[in-house]
Structure 1
């Protein structure tokens, strides 16, 4: 389980670094692209000067879907998800420590389904292990 937690923390740290490297404010959908929210530029010194175009797409229905998707997954949201994932891991560790204390050395042995679910978006990473898959070992 420690390997899975270490893997998750490394991926979450990388998500945080990448989000912070961008202008960490909301992105909004414009008619031909995604841009940094002008309202947030005024209030965020990191954003100032990044009046910014983030991404563009064709001005059609598919292009709008791309723009809405990109804007929905802006750095501010990624940073909120990083925080939430860290809280889930910390809560799991608190729970596991309490179980060990109560059960005199309890070792869960199996992969936590909660942590396995958190790791699933990183399944394409070369360090991801198939035994961490939530459905690993289940017959279809």
Structure 2
């Protein structure tokens, strides 16, 4: 999961740079930057929880853990066509 979070952070950095550079998008650069910030905050909230839970045996994980893992995978879904995206990261 650490690698998926790192992958997501790299993609968000790329999205941020593209918005700041004014690359044409169907949304305004301001909205794009707010979306990047929102996704970063979601990752920040989930990262420590996911990191701790990742090393628990499967039978000791609870529904919150599964939900957190699922949310991180959903955040990665728009990047599934990236060369570094792994099949096991799909939700």
Normalised to the residue count of structure 2, the TM-score between the two structures is 0.77
Q: 1:129 aligns with which of 81, 86, 91?
A: 86
Q: Which has the larger radius of gyration?
A: 1
User: Any stretches of 5+ residues in structure 2 without a counterpart?
Assistant: 59-65
Q: Distance in 1 between matches of 2:55 and 2:29?
A: 37
RMSD of Structure 2 on Structure 1 (CA): 2.6
Report 1:1-140 matches (<5 A): 1-22=1-22, 70=26, 73-96=27-50, 100=52, 107=55, 112-134=69-91
Greater fraction strand: 1
Alpha-carbon spacing, 1:76–1:106, altered in 2? closer, same or farther (3 Å): closer
Alpha-carbon spacing, 1:84–1:11, altered in 2? closer, same or farther (3 Å): same
Confirm or deny: 8 A CA contact 2:79 2:85 kept in the other structure: yes
How many residues are matched?
82
User: Any stretches of 5+ residues in structure 1 without a counterpart?
Assistant: 24-53, 55-68, 135-140
Normalised to the residue count of structure 1, the TM-score between the two structures is 0.52
